[in-house]
Structure 1
Amino acid sequence: MDAPPIIVVGNGISGVTFARHFRKNSTKPLLIISKETPYFFSRTALMYVYMGHLRWEDTQPYERNFWKKNKLDLLQGTVTHINPKEKKITLSDESILSYDSLVIATGSLPNKFGWPGENLTGVQGFYSKQDLDSLEDFSATTNEAVIVGGGLIGVELAEMLHSRGKKVTFLVRENSFWNNVLPKGESELINQHLLKHGIDLRLSTNLSEIIEDKTGRVKAIRTDSGEIISCQFVGLTAGVKPNIDFLKNTDIATNRGILVNKYLETNQTSIYAIGDCSEQQEPQVGRRPIEAVWYTGRMMGETLAQTLTGNKKAYRPGHWFNSAKFFDIEYQTYGLVAAQTENFEKHFHWKHPIENVAITIAYDQNTKQFLGINTFGIRMRHELFDQMLYEKKSIFYVIEQLANCNFDPEFFESFEEEILQKFNKEFNTEIKLKKKSWKVIFKNIMP
């Protein structure tokens, strides 16, 4: 009898990264099961398919023969139940499969909050390939769209619909865009940028009801102020939640997500969880229990592959980092920059008087230790900031090294001198920029 395989449930970045790295060090059979698509694709590229910048096949990083060549078996199906005691899973077609170890990497689902009409035709989130397909179907008969929830997915969806000439109304509960994450100056920068792009940004506005027409499709929404806004499509982008409903009748411990320890182990022997669906029981200081981010999913996959090939390794994500785009403004964040400063944290903020370029540097007001940085419109080197955070450098050191931190000064305008001038004035210092040094750069970016 053949040995049962390692089974991975979910073929997103977490599951596929695990499978690839597992295969580098083990010849054990491995099966990837996915409900969504038969092959792995880049989820962050979905918006560019809709906007016509990519074809669907361009989102798939690996050729079709990659999986067979690397002896990674694929199955498109839906897992409906897990039996940890017998080490078996049940699929929606009632077939039963045995596993050696089980890796759950089922990702996220868009949040719904019980709004009247949230299940009408023309109302959806934006996360999956199926969401892309349904959005495409609705687009031909959509002239007006409403987006509910002001986060990164909401901005992506606004840009997508705007690219097709749709009138977009964007409902944001907060009094400034994403101001639970971004400091005031940065949040206001994005407010103005969205408005300049023709997005009807409604701050301090909540959804009250989604109204249907005679066919069961959305025809309008009502806000909490009673205003009725005509629309043929509603995008629900008020965050995501772990996709774990299929675990309700199992002994696998869950909270918001699947509870795991630092080795990504659940409370059940030989069952692990990685990516958006997992919840750290003891998260690293400065990190959240659930982090639905591409980078963290990839790191979890790499880490667990080490453990299941004989090199038990704890998940240590290090310092927080992320990147995104707000239409044509690139955003990067390294370390921790609080939306509102409290206790010891202070911010140095610089914004270009005309262009959509800005930075905020967080530091300890007592020790001047560098805590984190947000950048808008300036592409910076992740590795350098990561090293500065590990070495607990001062904000003065960070300012001195701005030329080295700038990722592509040869192709874009540099703003180091303007930033330095404001910094010296605010801090009453006479710091000078260090000349760009490839030695310093490669010291930090080479393994």
Structure 2
Amino acid sequence: MEEHIVIIGNGISGVTAARHIRKLSDKKITIVSAETEYFFSRTALMYVYMGHMKFEHTQPYENWFWKKNRIDLKKGYVKTVDTKAKTLHFDNNDALKYDKLIIATGSKPNKFGWPGQDLEGVMGMYHKQDLENLEKYAPNNLACKRAVIVGGGLIGIELAEMLNSRNIPVTFLVRESSFWNGVLPEGESQMINRHIKSHHIDLRLSTNLKEIKADKNGKVKSVIIEETGEEIMCYVVGLTVGVSPNIDFLKGTNIEIAKGVKVNRSLETNIKDIYAIGDCAEQLEPIGQRRNIEAVWYTGRMMGETVAQTICGNRTPYNPGHWFNSAKFFDIEYQTYGWVFNKPGENETHFHWKHEDDTKCITVAFNKNTNEFLGINTFGIRMRHEVFDRWLTEKRDMDYVMQHLSEANFDPEFYRTYESDMLSVYKNQLQTA
């Protein structure tokens, strides 16, 4: 009888695993999901609300794709896993047997026990249901006179941009003293503060939520600020204070969990034939300077490809390579390659350049003893991933990187004006250092 592979979760990790297992084998594959029938691109949700695309455009595969590739889809909520009997139990008393199981259940938004956090009109921006709620409670600025966003990460700024696109006034509560300053160096963080305010967002730094108040119908009426007791009237509250692995259903099983599902470098759990990938997987040993849990789209995809190899007989360690990421702060595109920490580490230093228009900057991290290039952040200037990837592997020095930056630029014809300026600022800093 053919081996049955069951994947819980139809995000990028689970679907990538299914596709690659199918490429490599004829095994029976079932994807289980409680969220939507078909896989969609989570990162595209904001563009649906902003009117750039329809929800069906967020589905990378046509509905016939699954049947043609013999990937079965089952909609249902898994209540628990019986690892001895190799059986999933669902909340409607259904059951499903597996030979090998891949846990790819992703993340859920953090909630910190605020009074009112489960009221109507309070939402994250992670799931299709969040998009539906946003359409319901914030269709336009006539229905929604103000929204409050709590939490200053990448999803918070996406939600601010979405609401802003429909002219809905936004108050943005950020716990930190400067936007995303746990990640970004000070110069970049301050530039983003100014950029957010330039879009008429009411950015409140060093500000915490105390509670969310309800009207007589159980809908959001206002929020209370912890520091001052101020009440801000609003119709929608977006909770975007990070995510945690979505693994509550595994409590009480013998699968080893901590914050996430514990896995080795081959993405295997402590139980034979059970694997975990994507946002819910927690590496037993961190890989380089990466975190044990990475809620990042591309690493989820890479884990899906890796686990497919292992399941199809070619045991493969997960090797994500040099760190990179990208995002958007309203009109400013952000990319990071290698490691640029918010504060330089021991033996590290940062070179920072900012354009006079206050929407473009770079920060380059390097070893001050050996001059080795360690990483770069770019804002408002598109750079080529493969070039920085190569320079990091080749351990190029800082002087080489600065003199060859034009090779990395995605758009050289627009770039000439910045390149010489960056180099001269860099040389001046060297002379005055």
Shorter-chain TM range is over 0.9
Query: Where do residues 418-429 of structure 1 align in structure 2 (5 Å cutoff)?
Result: 418-428=421-431
The residue identity in structure 1 corresponding to 2:232 is I
In 2, distance between residues paired with 1:244 and 1:142? 34
Of residues 149, 152, 155, the one that matches 1:153 is 155
Matched residue SS, 1:160: helix
Indicate conservation of the 8 Å contact 1:4/1:98, yes or no.
no
Hey, what does 1:113 align to over in structure 2? Answer: 112
Matched residue SS, 1:415: helix
How many Å apart are 1:412 and its aligned residue? 6.2
Query: Where do residues 183-222 of structure 1 align in structure 2 (5 Å cutoff)?
Result: 183-222=185-224
Q: 1:414 to 1:44 in 2, by over 3 A?
A: farther
Of residues 326, 339, 343, the one that matches 2:342 is 339
Query: Where do residues 1-40 of structure 1 align in structure 2 (5 Å cutoff)?
Result: 2-40=1-39
In 1, distance between residues paired with 2:317 and 2:404? 32
How many Å apart are 1:100 and its aligned residue? 1.1
Hey, what does 1:133 align to over in structure 2? Answer: 132
How many Å apart are 1:94 and its aligned residue? 1.1
Hey, what does 1:65 align to over in structure 2? Answer: 64
Q: 1:411 to 1:422 in 2, by over 3 A?
A: closer
In 2, distance between residues paired with 1:97 and 1:117? 37
Hey, what does 1:99 align to over in structure 2? Answer: 98
Hey, what does 1:371 align to over in structure 2? Answer: 374
Of residues 273, 277, 282, the one that matches 1:274 is 277
In 2, distance between residues paired with 1:361 and 1:329? 18
Q: How many residues are matched? A: 428
Query: Where do residues 300-315 of structure 1 align in structure 2 (5 Å cutoff)?
Result: 300-315=303-318
Q: Could you tell me the TM-score, scaled by structure 2's length?
A: 0.97
- CA offset digits 1:361-420 (Å, max 9, x no partner): 000111111110000011101111111111111111111211110012246665111111
Matched residue SS, 1:324: strand
Hey, what does 1:441 align to over in structure 2? Answer: none
Extract structure 1 runs of 4+ deviating beyond 6 A: none
The residue identity in structure 2 corresponding to 1:212 is A
The residue identity in structure 1 corresponding to 2:101 is L
Q: Could you tell me the TM-score, scaled by structure 1's length?
A: 0.94
The residue identity in structure 1 corresponding to 2:59 is Q
Matched residue SS, 2:376: strand
Query: Where do residues 210-289 of structure 1 align in structure 2 (5 Å cutoff)?
Result: 210-224=212-226, 225-289=228-292
Q: CA RMSD in A?
A: 1.2
In 2, distance between residues paired with 1:349 and 1:139? 39
The residue identity in structure 2 corresponding to 1:358 is C
How many Å apart are 1:102 and its aligned residue? 0.2
The residue identity in structure 2 corresponding to 1:292 is A
Q: 1:414 to 1:19 in 2, by over 3 A?
A: farther
Indicate conservation of the 8 Å contact 2:409/2:415, yes or no.
no
- CA offset digits 1:245-281 (Å, max 9, x no partner): 1111211111111111111011111000000011111
In 1, distance between residues paired with 2:414 and 2:129? 38
In 2, distance between residues paired with 1:376 and 1:175? 20
Matched residue SS, 1:130: helix
Indicate conservation of the 8 Å contact 1:84/1:269, yes or no.
no
In 1, distance between residues paired with 2:99 and 2:369? 53
Q: 1:341 to 1:59 in 2, by over 3 A?
A: same
In 1, distance between residues paired with 2:2 and 2:315? 22
Hey, what does 1:396 align to over in structure 2? Answer: 399
Matched residue SS, 2:302: helix
Matched residue SS, 1:175: coil
**Structure 1 range deviating more: 98-107 or 84-93:** 84-93
In 1, distance between residues paired with 2:280 and 2:37? 20
Unaligned runs of 5+ in 1: 430-447
- CA offset digits 1:183-226 (Å, max 9, x no partner): 00000010000000010000000001111111111111111121
Hey, what does 2:48 align to over in structure 1? Answer: 49
Query: Where do residues 347-362 of structure 1 align in structure 2 (5 Å cutoff)?
Result: 347-362=350-365
How many Å apart are 1:3 and its aligned residue? 3.8
